[in-house]
Structure 1
Amino acid sequence: MITSSKQYIGNTGRQIVEIFANMGFICRLFWATMKCYKSLAFRGRVILDQFFICGIQSLPVTLIVGVFTGMILALQSGLILKDYRLENYIGVVILLTMCKEAGPFMTAFILAGRVGSAMAAELGTMKVSEEIDALEVMCIDPVEYLVFPRMVALAICAPILIVYVNLLGVLGGAVVAKYQIGLEPVIYFKRILIYMSTYNLTIVFAGLFKGIVFGFIITSVSCAYGLRARNGAEGVGEAARQSVVYIFLLVLISNYFMSALIERIFGS
């Protein structure tokens, strides 16, 4: 009994130490990547390739997620608002929810699952096959050569995908509002236009800002775990799995603090 308790405490302690070690490596990797900005002009082709992989190839998934997220929001909010005869404001509710929270959040989860795991697996394979060591022997900085183009590409495509998801969510909500709530599309979009012309567009730019931050988080975490992969193919799979888990956690935590900060500065 005592031995098992000691083992449990020891394993827990090792896991805590490993978490802090990984977080430290992620922060150092992010800072090292930021210092590679001078190579931006020379890495344009690679950045475009990564933009295609991260952004363009993610469009089909984001289409489905965006439409059905808007449809779910319209159904749930519409049923509640209809009880209070406020169904005309369904579009405004969906617009605010998609731009502030649902759009950035769902896009980050898509990119984490699809792109983040792929980055971790790719760099992990290069690490265990000693390709990273070969780059260092040739005096090529792995961070500048591998991580920097991915981070720039994801920081660019994430806000674009968020706008795409937001628009699809609003359109999906209009379909549900029409056929399940009974709200005409003219009224639906008219209320949205009135709201956007009356209030500032902070909600749109707040979502784009979140997208950039999420892009940094996804790239930093996935590349960090890939570069720390070991123990062959099993280690590569473990790195990909852990990277997705920690990306989800960091996205969730950072999303709360960014939302609180934006509300504190700009209000609703």
Structure 2
Amino acid sequence: MFKLLEAIGRVTINFLEFWGSWLIISVKAIVLAFRKPIRFKHYLYQLASIGTGSLPVIAITSLFTGGVIALETYEAFHRFNAEYMIGGVVAISMARELGPVLTALLITARSGSAMAAEIGTMKVTEQIDALRMMAVNPIKYLITPRVYTSVIAVTLLTIISDIVGYIGGYIVSVVVFNINKTLYIRYTQNLAEMNDVYHGLIKAAIFGFLIATISCLYGYFTKGGAKGVGESTTKAVVVSSISILIFDYLITFILRFFDL
């Protein structure tokens, strides 16, 4: 009984300690962006690294995801002679859910792991201590640019993911199944709304923030040399991915509850 209570207490303390540290670093990263000096080159470099580097992977994934949605839904719609409505299903699915979630998970695997590994390596090799010795705030220098550019990059890449995913669904529906393209596009316009896109972009911005702050947090508190860097990188990817899926549900619930 006492061991069970001890285990529950340890888990609770670790949980509160993690999210407390996350909150402190997140607030500092946001606030420090407005303090001089503002190094725009760092922001541009991170934006190119996160955004441009992830674009091919996200485009390929989204193209086939849109195609898979069309393939899976064709049989059901074909029974009711409503194949032309597949475009609306693809558009809404990509905009509201699959676009932001897939984009965030892919960026977590590619860029989130890189953030944790890079900052973790700087931590164990005492480069972060060297920054402090030179009167450079390590959070402002290392974390702030990654947070802001991750929010922008994930949001922009989600828009591209939505478009490419719809193209994938269009190719499968019109080219493979020979669905009337005029009806396909018309029913997409009738079923899908800009509100669907806005919901997805809200998710994308929050996901980008979570990826950067969680990955940088694990990197910033890395201990134990090269082994510690590997462990921090793994934890950053796992926790970021789980957080994305949990917050995906919470954001969807809030938007539905308030009918936004």
Same fold (TM over 0.5): yes
Q: Distance in 1 between matches of 2:97 and 2:164?
A: 15
Q: Distance in 2 between matches of 1:173 and 1:9?
A: 52
Q: What residue is the counterpart of 1:251 in the other structure? A: 244
Please show how residues 169-180 of structure 1 align to structure 2 within 5 Å.
Answer: 169-180=165-176
Q: What residue is the counterpart of 1:29 in the other structure? A: 25
Q: What residue is the counterpart of 1:126 in the other structure? A: 122
Q: Distance in 1 between matches of 2:249 and 2:8?
A: 27
> Which of 47, 69, 72 is the aligned partner of 1:73?
69
SS of residue in 2 equivalent to 1:35: helix
> Which of 64, 85, 105 is the aligned partner of 2:81?
85
Is structure 2 residue 138 aligned with structure 1 residue 142?
Answer: yes
Inter-CA distance 54–259: structure 2 relative to 1 (3 Å threshold): same
Inter-CA distance 152–113: structure 2 relative to 1 (3 Å threshold): same
Matched residues, number: 260
Q: Distance in 2 between matches of 1:98 and 1:138?
A: 47
Inter-CA distance 87–41: structure 2 relative to 1 (3 Å threshold): farther
Could you give the per-residue CA deviations for residues 197-218 of structure 1, whole angstroms, max 9, x where no partner exists? Answer: xxx5111111111111011100
Q: What residue is the counterpart of 2:150 in the other structure? A: 154
Q: What residue is the counterpart of 2:208 in the other structure? A: 215
Q: What residue is the counterpart of 1:103 in the other structure? A: 99
Is structure 2 residue 218 aligned with structure 1 residue 234?
Answer: no
Q: Distance in 2 between matches of 1:140 and 1:261?
A: 40
**Structure 1 alignment gaps of length 5 or more:** none
The percentage of aligned residue pairs carrying the same residue is: 32
> Which of 47, 51, 67 is the aligned partner of 1:51?
47
Q: Give the TM-score normalised by the residue count of structure 2.
A: 0.93
CA contact 1:79–1:181 (8 Å) conserved in 2: no
Q: Distance in 2 between matches of 1:212 and 1:98?
A: 16
Inter-CA distance 11–128: structure 2 relative to 1 (3 Å threshold): farther
Is structure 2 residue 149 aligned with structure 1 residue 164?
Answer: no
**1:123 Cα offset (Å):** 0.3
Could you give the per-residue CA deviations for residues 156-198 of structure 1, whole angstroms, max 9, x where no partner exists? Answer: 11111001000010000011112443313332222223345xx
Return structure 1 stretches of 4+ with deviation > 4 angstroms: 8-16
**Structure 2 alignment gaps of length 5 or more:** none
**1:115 Cα offset (Å):** 0.5
CA contact 1:202–1:266 (8 Å) conserved in 2: no
Q: Distance in 2 between matches of 1:40 and 1:179?
A: 55
Inter-CA distance 230–9: structure 2 relative to 1 (3 Å threshold): farther
Inter-CA distance 70–232: structure 2 relative to 1 (3 Å threshold): same
